[in-house]
Amino acid sequence: DSGVTQTPKHLITATGQRVTLRCSPRSGDLSVYWYQQSLDQGLQFLIHYYNGEERAKGNILERFSAQQFPDLHSELNLSSLELGDSALYFCASSVALGGKQETQYFGPGTRLLVL
Amino acid sequence: DQQVKQNSPSLSVQEGRISILNCDYTNSMFDYFLWYKKYPAEGPTFLISISSIKDKNEDGRFTVFLNKSAKHLSLHIVPSQPGDSAVYFCAASGGGNTGNQFYFGTGTSLTVIP
């Protein structure tokens, strides 16, 4: 158990809908990262938050947004969903600013299926 | 464009033998490399890492080798055990145009046969 929790574990929804994925980092970790893993793809970095502030953006679509709250939990909002958004979404956390040598601890993921 | 590639989707090895997982990268700005292991229904967990100033890093049964000129790294598991059966992801990070984020490969599914 990494100490990172993600809810829900599974989510089935329809095209055009909006969903919110939630992540609670390990106790004491200030950084939260979101990744998307589509079929036969590696984990694609979406976005990084540190202590409530956005630090870096990766291949995140404009239909997607995220935020980190004062209690450090984070939410990833996916809107106007398309079939291609079906994927595993992972959240990870790390202690500090997320330097390249800082270990990231991953949650179990949320599997999203868009029908 | 996939900057970190794992060209073998799967690998089967007999228990007790060596497992060799390979990873190639394209961006010369990468200078830190990691391997993560993932069991079904769990998130990836950190296994071992190597900085570009080294060409080898060892941790118990796990050794990572880095060949910078070939932009290639490999993970050796000796001896392989059934509990090592999992998906292994290679990841890279660095400065410059890499944005200091982690880039992951597509993973290699290792099966260790008892």
Å between B77 CA and nearest CA of chain A: 21
What's the token pair of residue A6?
């993600």
Identify the pLDDT of residue A97: 73
* A25 in B contact zone (CB under 8 Å): no
pLDDT in tens, A44-81: 999 999 999 998 888 899 999 999 999 999 999 999 99
pLDDT at residue B34, rounded to an integer: 94
The four Cα atoms A103, A38, A90, B31 give a dihedral, to 10 degrees, of 10
Q: Which two tokens stand for residue A48?
A: 């990084």
Chain B CB within 8 Å of residue A70 CB = no
Among A48, A50, A95, A100, the strongest candidate for a mutation testing the B interface, having the largest count of B CBs within 10 A, is A100
B61 falls in which pLDDT band (50, 70, 90)? very high
Chain B residues within an 8 Å CB radius of A103:
46
Shortest alpha-carbon distance between residue B114 and chain A (Å): 26
A100:B94 CB<8 A = yes
pLDDT, position B100: 66
Report the C-alpha gap between A92 and A105 in whole angstroms: 5
